[in-house]
Each structure stands twice: as C-alpha cells, then as structure tokens.
Amino acid sequence: MKIVAICGAGIGTSAILKVSAERALARLGYEAEVSASDVAGIRDAGDDAQIILTSAEHVDAIGRTFADVIVIDNILDQEELTRKLEASLG
C-alpha cells in the first residue's frame, strides 16, 4: 500500500503527516510506504497511491484520483489521523 501526504511546499505539514501516519499504521498493524510531497508533485507522487493525506485547502489541487483522500483537520492530533486511517483501511 502507498500513502502520500501533501502540503503546499512538501516539507512542513506533509512531513508531520508522514511521521504521524507511520505511527498510526504501526499502531493499527498495517504496513505501507508513506511519502511526503508538495501539491505540485501530487500527480507523480500520488499516481499509484491508495490514500492521500492532506489539509482542506489542498483538496481541489489533487484533482481526479482513485486514491482515498483523507482530510486532516488538526495535523497534530494523532487520534484524528489514526481514526481516519482506520476508517479508510477497514
């Protein structure tokens, strides 16, 4: 499974989401390749992703995708991310 976390520049929010997703996946017992990307690179980075993690302001930039787009409201809330990932994977 491939998960891509995106943000505007690909180094702030996406990096936090990447680390948080890795923790959540370990807690839930799932294995996945998790990467961070900027919005401009989502076409390449998310081409074969099953899940895209982002904040609300970047959803429109993703465009059409077969991936499950999960909007995270509070990037520092590990419980929110875990809950949303579990719902998507379950």
Write out pLDDT tens, residues 26-42: 999 999 999 999 888 77
Domain range for 72 is 2-79
Q: Is the pLDDT of residue 86 over 90?
A: yes
| Cα(28)–Cα(40) distance, integer angstroms | 30
State phi, psi for 83 to the nearest 5 degrees.
Answer: -60, -45
**pTM for the whole structure:** 0.90
Asked, for residue 51, whether it belongs to a domain, the answer is yes
Residue at 85 is within a domain: no
Residue 44 domain-assigned (yes or no): yes
Residue 52 one-letter amino acid: I
Please count the structural domains in the chain: 1
